[in-house]
Amino acid sequence: MEVGRFSQLIAEYLQPLVPGETVRSLLEASADPVIRPLDLATLFRRNQTYAQLIRRMDLLQSRIAEWVAEDEKRLDMGDVILDRIVSLLGKQATRNAGVCIGLHRLSGTLPKKETDRFNLNPQDQIKFALTVEAFCQENSLAYSEKAYVAGLHYDWLKAIFVKNKTSKDAQTALSNAFTEGFEMARIAYDLSRLVKNFKYDHYVFSAALLEPIGMSLMSALYPKDLAAKSWSAFIADCEKFKGRKDDAFDALQSQRFDIRHHELSALVVNYFGILATVEKAVHFSKEPHFLKGADSDLYRLAAILSMAKTLQRKKPMSEVQKDYMRDLQIAEHEVLLMSEEMKMKK
Amino acid sequence: MATHLITSACTRCDACAAVCPTASISFGATQYVIDQDTCTGCEICVTVCPVDVIVPTPRQQPE
């Protein structure tokens, strides 16, 4: 994958800080309906940091004291407590706790001494992941667990930004990218419902959510040798093109950064290593036709992303995108209707 | 990368956590623990442990 001058920077910036094996296994296991909550305890036992820190949470200390008092002499009390905590919390809360421990680890805020307090705060630490998961569940959208994982990419990247003392500009760009991705994800999900016999429907929401994430990295690693001094100055340059600012945004990205934001997004997904299918679709979301002969379902996923982006920007479909619609057997009037409904909602 | 772990004979002296270059050692529920995902196996903690309780992780047998 040719990704220009950013590839080396990204490797140095992201690679040492992406989720470790325990968090990745936890996400995979918690999304698997066959896996029971107690199986997650087994997973924690493979890494004692997680097994012990789950038992360290301030929130559970009074309850744990009661359990210990029941049978103080029991030698395997640590394992019993872990099993009971996981059963008590259930799969989702256990997953959240594990992920938050991973984020504490990344931020260097794990307890260093016996007397240090240890609290998990999922509502703050994994805000993006919980927002999209709650949205999917409240609106009966399928595959909320995949949406959660996609949202977690934003939370993790936010923690990396904080750790690396990245500029406020980048943190704002991350929030803006999430807002854009969230909007795009809802559109992409609606589009995917018009496509019949689609194998990758479970990746649509997460792929669309992640499409803009690369913009925040462009901002974080903004090259100092460019004409515009910062990412926000670059955006301001694009705004000067008024009616064609989106086209200018796409063209100037290639010209100035030697890479486009969705290619960078694909790289982020690649380094996180959890959503491999999404990575390919995002990478080809501007040119889905490259996938046409190789993998027809991946082509359809990338085409949905391409169309969702256009609808999110409130632009008419291009001739190429009309071809995608024909390939996907989506009637043009249905997309027009969607577009009108979106305008009405606005 | 799972390389080392701290056994239950840990005396909680804090020597290992202070020297870990990747901040992989933290205090868990009852003792110091090493994050198996981030430990690089540099063994600095092994050299500073006064009671020699940091040992290599037993290798898993191939299935």
List pLDDT tens digits, range A225-272. Answer: 777 778 888 888 888 887 788 888 888 888 778 888 999 999 999 999
pLDDT for res A1? 43
Percent of all residues in chain A with a pLDDT value above 90, rounded to a whole number: 53
Residue B58 distance to chain A (closest CA, Å): 12
Option in B17, B29, B38 nearest A78 (CB): B29
One domain, residues A44 and A87: yes
One domain, residues A76 and A152: no
Per-residue pLDDT at A205 exceeds 90: yes
pLDDT digits (tens, 9 = 90+) for A84-112: 999 999 999 999 999 999 999 999 888 88
In terms of CA atoms, which chain B residue is nearest residue A82?
B29
Option in B27, B33, B37 nearest A116 (CB): B27
Nearest Cα to A288, choosing from A276, A301, A277, A279?
Answer: A301
Q: Is residue A16 part of a domain?
A: no
In terms of CA atoms, which chain A residue is nearest residue B34?
A49
Burial string for A82-120 (b: 16+ CB within 10 Å, else e) reads bbbbbeebebbebbbbbbbbbbbbbeeebbbeeeeebeb
The C-alpha torsion from A207 through A29 and A119 to A73, rounded to 10°, is 180
**Mutate: best of B3, B10, B30, B38, partner A, most A CBs <10 A:** B38
Q: Is residue A24 part of a domain?
A: no
Option in B14, B35, B36 nearest A113 (CB): B14
Q: Across all residues in chain A, what is the average pLDDT? A: 89
Given an 8 Å threshold on Cβ–Cβ distance, is A78 in contact with B30?
yes
Task: Give me the number of domains chain A comprises.
Answer: 2
**Mutate: best of A43, A60, A112, partner B, most B CBs <10 A:** A112
Domain B4-56 has CATH 3.30.70.370: no
One domain, residues A201 and A318: yes
One domain, residues A55 and A152: no
One domain, residues A169 and A40: no
Residues in chain B within 8 Å Cβ distance of A84: none
One domain, residues A254 and A218: yes
Nearest Cα to B3, choosing from A308, A9, A21, A7?
Answer: A21
pLDDT digits (tens, 9 = 90+) for A153-203: 999 999 999 998 988 889 999 999 999 999 999 999 999 999 988 889 999
ipTM: 0.83
One domain, residues A43 and A156: no
One domain, residues A106 and A156: no
As a residue count, chain B comes to: 63
Question: Of A122, A145, A160, which closes a domain?
Answer: A122
Residues in chain A within 8 Å Cβ distance of B17: 112
CATH number of domain containing A134: 1.10.3210
Given an 8 Å threshold on Cβ–Cβ distance, is B36 in contact with A78?
no
Instruction: List Cβ neighbours of A233 (8 Å cut-off, separation of 6 or more).
Output: none
One domain, residues A97 and A144: no
Largest CA distance in chain A: 74
SS3 A28: helix
Given an 8 Å threshold on Cβ–Cβ distance, is B26 in contact with A53?
yes
**Mutate: best of A27, A52, A76, A82, partner B, most B CBs <10 A:** A52
Match 């066959």 to its residue by tokens.
A34
**Domain range for residue A106?**
36-122
Q: Across all residues in chain B, what is the average pLDDT? A: 87
Mean pLDDT for A205-209 is 96
SS3 A193: coil
Residue A52 distance to chain B (closest CA, Å): 5
* Chain B contact for A55 (CB, 8 A cutoff): yes
One domain, residues A226 and A280: yes
One domain, residues A323 and A190: yes
Given an 8 Å threshold on Cβ–Cβ distance, is B34 in contact with A22?
no
Q: Is residue A65 part of a domain?
A: yes
User: How many CB atoms within 10 Å of residue A196?
Assistant: 8
pLDDT digits (tens, 9 = 90+) for A303-336: 999 999 999 988 888 999 999 999 999 888 888 8
Question: Of A72, A90, A122, which closes a domain?
Answer: A122
Given an 8 Å threshold on Cβ–Cβ distance, is A23 in contact with B23?
no
CB B29 within 8 A of CB A67: no
Q: Which residues of B touch A (CB under 8 A)?
A: 2, 5-6, 12, 14, 17, 23-24, 26-31, 33-38
- Scan residues 94-133 of A and list those with Cβ closer than 8 Å to B: 105, 108, 110-114, 116
Percent of all residues in chain A with a pLDDT value above 70, rounded to a whole number: 97
Structure tokens given for A326? 């024909």
Instruction: List Cβ neighbours of A239 (8 Å cut-off, separation of 6 or more).
Output: A245
Q: Is residue A316 part of a domain?
A: yes
Nearest Cα to A257, choosing from A285, A281, A231, A283?
Answer: A231
Per-residue pLDDT at A46 exceeds 80: yes
Query: A26-30 — which CB contacts under 8 Å span 24+ positions?
Result: A26/A95, A26/A98, A26/A99, A27/A95, A27/A99, A27/A149, A27/A152, A27/A274, A28/A274, A30/A91, A30/A92, A30/A94, A30/A95, A30/A145
Residues in chain B within 8 Å Cβ distance of A18: none
Instruction: Identify the residue with better confidence: B27 or A249.
Output: B27
Instruction: List Cβ neighbours of A220 (8 Å cut-off, separation of 6 or more).
Output: A13, A161, A164, A166, A167, A170, A173
One domain, residues A133 and A266: yes
Question: Of A73, A100, A122, which closes a domain?
Answer: A122
Per-residue pLDDT at A116 exceeds 90: no
Option in A21, A49, A108 nearest B34 (CB): A49
CB A186 within 8 A of CB A302: no
Given an 8 Å threshold on Cβ–Cβ distance, is A21 in contact with B37?
yes
Given an 8 Å threshold on Cβ–Cβ distance, is B33 in contact with A20?
no
